[in-house]
Amino acid sequence: MSAQSSYNKVLDLLKQHHKWFNESIPLIASENIPSAAVREAIVSDFGNRYAEGWPGERVYAGCIYIDEVELICNDLAKQVFKSEFADCRATSGVVANLAIYSAFSNPGDYMIAASIPSGGHISHGKKEHFGTAGLVHGLNIEHFPFSKEEMTIDVDATKKKIQEMILEGRSPKIAMFGGSLFLFPHPVKELSEFMHENNIYVNYDAAHVAGLIAGGEFQQPLSEGADSMTMSSHKTLWGPQGGIIVSYQKHAELIKKAIFPGNTSSHHLHHVAGKAIALAESLEFGKDYAIQVIKNAKKLAESLVERGFGILGEKRGYTQSHQIAVDVSKFGDGGTIEKDLEKGNIILNRQLLPGDIKAGKNYLHPSGVRIGTSEVTRLGMKESEMIEIAEFIKRIVVNKEDPLIVSKDIIEFKKGYQKVHYAFDNELGAYEYISLVKNKN
Ligand SMILES: Cc1ncc(COP(=O)(O)O)c(C=O)c1O
């Protein structure tokens, strides 16, 4: 392909993507749709600049306005997460986690975290699985004992496991709470004191649930005893892609150095501006949003159960977060179902469920799919729309209707949900493509 046609093709593909998402039901639990203001920040000149270091102590000139924005961003993060200290420079949730590993452990140390089938994230994972903690920072990983019935970490079994590790000379340096499949709060309150008594640093990875914590509708890890909280800025928190760390003043200097120079050089200043806007939106609209996200997730779970699906966490009402975990093994495997739904304009992802690895399943063909209600809620959907979504899913997965036929009804349905809600401004269409190129050939 010539340079000119590659150039044209990429611009065309971007437009096609926008059109497709405009006509689809977005249910990926780790995604959200930002406001027009966040999108404006992302295309600003901040994205072309460097500002290594801390506001007021930069390695570069040209940072007068950048410094002001970053200070506003840090102040907003402190307010939203009720923390003494915030650092908004991590360029992703993984980089935020890496900074915590760098600040509070050394290669060869142990960390305890959730396994992937129990909801853990690959950035908490072992070297042999190419997990960031093992591969990049040389940590040895042990897993929290997990109760499938309660869908959370087992407190007593964790204490026992850590006592055994201490006796064996393998005491963890870090306990990493939080995860990617995250239906119910983790026992931070129940375990933090025990961890601290044993000199174990407690981090809570709020990548998924940051927006719910911000809205006061999920556990509050810092007040429950966590030393720090890492997060992505773009999942239930609706900012641009990036990371944030909040903590106590006593840990500030170590965290700051671990971010720069430890784990970043450029820290994506356009995204810092976007994070500031997203945090301001969260302060204003975050509570109402978080309440509705969780109501929607519960309603979607109940509506899917009524249509024959198995949902994990039944004993506890399926979920207290934005996510639900659906066991689809009666109807096929998670990978095939993900693809069938995608053909019908329903975008979600397959999911390993607890017990899958032991049962010989792998991440390509697990027994589950994970659904998140963050984005559909930001588009203004409420409980009645969750019933409609459950019915669309049933038509493809249970009735085995042709996804292309179902997609026609989805395109009609989606016409009613074209704007971003819970924002200061919602004139622009949620997926409206903004073309900056004036004379495209
Ligand atoms: C628990 C958890 N931590 C960290 C991350 C990584 O975040 P990012 O994609 O911002 O690096 C994810 C991503 O899904 C996650 O689920």
Q: Tens digit of pLDDT for each residue in 395-430?
A: 999 999 999 999 999 999 999 999 999 999 989 999
What are the percentages of helix, strand and coil residues in the chain, rounded to 5?
Answer: 45, 15, 40
| 211 φ/ψ angles, rounded to the nearest 5 degrees | -70, -30
Q: What is the dotted CATH code of the domain comprising 39-280? A: 3.40.640.10
Residue nearest to atom 7 of ligand 1 (CA): 93
Q: Give mean pLDDT, residues 66-76.
A: 98
- 419/436 Cα distance (integer angstroms): 21
Count of residues in the chain: 441
Residue 338, pLDDT > 60, answer: yes
Residue nearest to atom 3 of ligand 1 (CA): 207
Q: Which pair of tokens denotes residue 52?
A: 């290594």
For the sheet with 172-178, list strands across it.
Answer: 85-87, 243-247, 228-232, 201-205, 172-178, 110-113, 140-143
Average pLDDT value over all residues in the chain: 97
- Rounded to the nearest whole angstrom, what is the distance from the C-alpha of residue 9 to the centroid of ligand 1? 30
Per DSSP bridges, beta strands 346-347 and 146-147 are unpaired
Which atom of ligand 1 is the closest one to the Cα of 180?
16
Burial 135-167 (b: 16+ CB within 10 A, else e): bbbebbbbbbbbeeeebbbbbeebbebbeebee
C-alpha 169 – ligand 1 centre gap (Å): 30
What separation in Å is there between the alpha carbon of 7 and the centre of ligand 1? 31
**Ligand 1 atom nearest residue 179's Cα:** 1
pTM: 0.97
Quick: pLDDT tens for 276-330.
999 999 999 999 999 999 999 999 999 999 999 999 999 999 999 999 999 999 9
The backbone torsions φ and ψ at residue 141, rounded to the nearest 5 degrees and listed phi first, read: -110, 130
d(CA 242, CA 272): 8
| Ligand 1 atom nearest 30 alpha carbon | 14
The predicted-structure confidence for 173-199, as pLDDT tens digits, reads as follows 999 999 999 999 999 999 999 999 999
- Nearest 5°: CA angle at 44, between 42 and 45? 125
Q: Residue 94, Cβ neighbours under 10 Å: how many?
A: 22
Domain range annotation of the chain: 39-280
Looking at the CA of residue 97, tell me the nearest atom of ligand 1. Answer: 4
- The bridge status of strand 57-58 relative to strand 53-54 is antiparallel
